[in-house]
């Protein structure tokens, strides 16, 4: 569901014996907000979160489709057998009546699965609505979310001045060290001393800049935390609703029990031998006539 970009390759038959170990899942990189690529990383995390929500919607909808298909097949099966029995009722009316009653269990089951389908579709609609409120596309021609883009810019703005200062200090340090080597070779000490002064001034400016940078970075990280916590709490709620949607509830049990009790009572009370007993009694009561001698009657043709 878009949790990460890890891939599973070389999937083997689980029944086959092998000494190969399954590859370890790729661990997500730790977030260092001061790293040059941190802004991209934080934006990617938000975009992956949106993909996770898309996956959750698909998860719920495909399960709803399974419930709908099963309910449809149960009803089709019920209709098929009721139609067959209507066309060919046979001679035993009591037997046909109980046989038709057996199909009512399928109808009760189909009702339960239709209800599950409806509940799952409601769950999916909630997630879709929540996603529309919390994630917004950058545009038709751009992938990713506006929320990820905003966090990326927020972190870039927070760390940009600091990274420029660090780059400046590093450059001055390297230039100063280079001039130190030149001074050792009896070249210009004045240039070295001037560069040292510039280098030390750049270093001295960092402590004043440091608190503001740290605060802005913290605000960006906390915004990420708030966004993710909101998503994760919502996902947890949907998980709970999913289980409630698919679990076999007391209401389901009661409706099936009612159908089962009705069918069982019909089976117990069914006098399925009645028809065959009546048929055989009538058959046994029939006695063939014994032919009597008849004289020839020329008048009869």
Q: pLDDT tens digits, residue range 24-34?
A: 655 557 888 98
Which of 40, 32, 29 is CA-nearest to residue 221? Answer: 32
Cα separation of 177 and 186, whole Å? 15
State residue 142's pLDDT score.
75
Instruction: Give the per-residue pLDDT at 15.
Output: 45
Angle between helices 93-102 and 104-134 (to 10 degrees): 20
Contact partners, residue 72, CB within 8 Å, separation at least 6: 110
pLDDT band at 186 (very low <50, low <70, confident <90, very high): low
In CATH, what number is assigned to the domain containing residue 57?
1.20.1270.60
229 in a structural domain: yes
Supply the mean pLDDT for the chain. 85
> To which residue do tokens 């719920």 refer?
60
Residues 237-243: contacts with CB under 8 Å, at least 24 apart: 238/56, 238/60, 238/123, 238/126, 238/127, 241/119, 241/123, 241/126, 242/60, 242/63, 242/120, 242/123
Distance CA(120)–CA(117), nearest Å, equals 5
Q: Is residue 220 part of a domain?
A: yes
Token pair belonging to 234? 């919502």
**Segment 88-103, tens digit of pLDDT:** 888 888 888 888 888 9
285 part of a folded domain: no
Higher pLDDT, 250 or 1: 250
> Tokens for 211?
């608190």
Say yes or no to pLDDT of 198 above 60.
yes
- Tell me, yes or no, whether 180 lies in a domain: yes
Is residue 301 situated within a structural domain? no
- Confirm whether 185 is domain-assigned: yes
Enclosing domain of residue 49 = 38-257
Confidence (pLDDT) at 3: 37
Q: Is residue 22 part of a domain?
A: no
- pTM for the full predicted model: 0.74
Domain tally, the chain: 1
Answer yes or no: is 272 within a domain: no
Please give the pLDDT value at position 5: 39
Give the Cβ contact number of residue 244 at 10 Å.
11
């Amino acid at each position: 569901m878009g949790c990460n970009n890890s891939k599973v390759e070389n999937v083997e038959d689980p029944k086959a014996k092998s000494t190969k170990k399954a590859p370890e899942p790729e661990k997500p990189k730790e977030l260092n907000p001061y790293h040059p690529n941190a802004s991209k990383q934080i934006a990617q995390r938000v975009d992956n979160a949106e993909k996770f929500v898309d996956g959750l919607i698909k998860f719920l909808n495909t399960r709803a489709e399974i419930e709908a298909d099963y309910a449809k097949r149960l009803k089709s099966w019920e209709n098929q057998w009721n139609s067959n029995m209507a066309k060919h009722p046979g001679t035993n009316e009591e037997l046909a009546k109980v046989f038709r009653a057996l199909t009512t269990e399928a109808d009760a089951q189909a009702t339960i699965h239709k209800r599950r389908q409806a509940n799952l579709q409601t769950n999916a609609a909630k997630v879709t609505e929540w996603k529309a409120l919390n994630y917004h596309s950058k545009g038709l021609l751009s992938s990713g979310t506006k929320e990820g883009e905003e966090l990326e810019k927020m972190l870039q703005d927070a760390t940009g001045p600091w990274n420029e200062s660090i780059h400046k200090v590093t450059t001055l340090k390297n230039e100063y060290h280079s001039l130190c080597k030149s001074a050792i070779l009896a070249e210009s000490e004045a240039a070295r001393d001037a560069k040292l002064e510039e280098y030390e001034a750049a270093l001295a400016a960092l402590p004043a800049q440091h608190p503001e940078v740290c605060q802005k970075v913290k605000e960006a990280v906390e915004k990420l935390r708030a966004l993710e916590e909101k998503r994760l709490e919502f996902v947890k709620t949907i998980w709970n609703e999913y289980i409630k949607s698919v679990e076999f509830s007391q209401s389901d049990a009661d409706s099936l029990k009612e159908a089962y009790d009705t069918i069982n009572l019909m089976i117990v009370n069914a006098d399925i031998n009645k028809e065959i007993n009546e048929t055989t009694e009538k058959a046994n009561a029939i006695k063939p006539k014994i032919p009597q001698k008849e004289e020839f009657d020329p008048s009869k043709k």
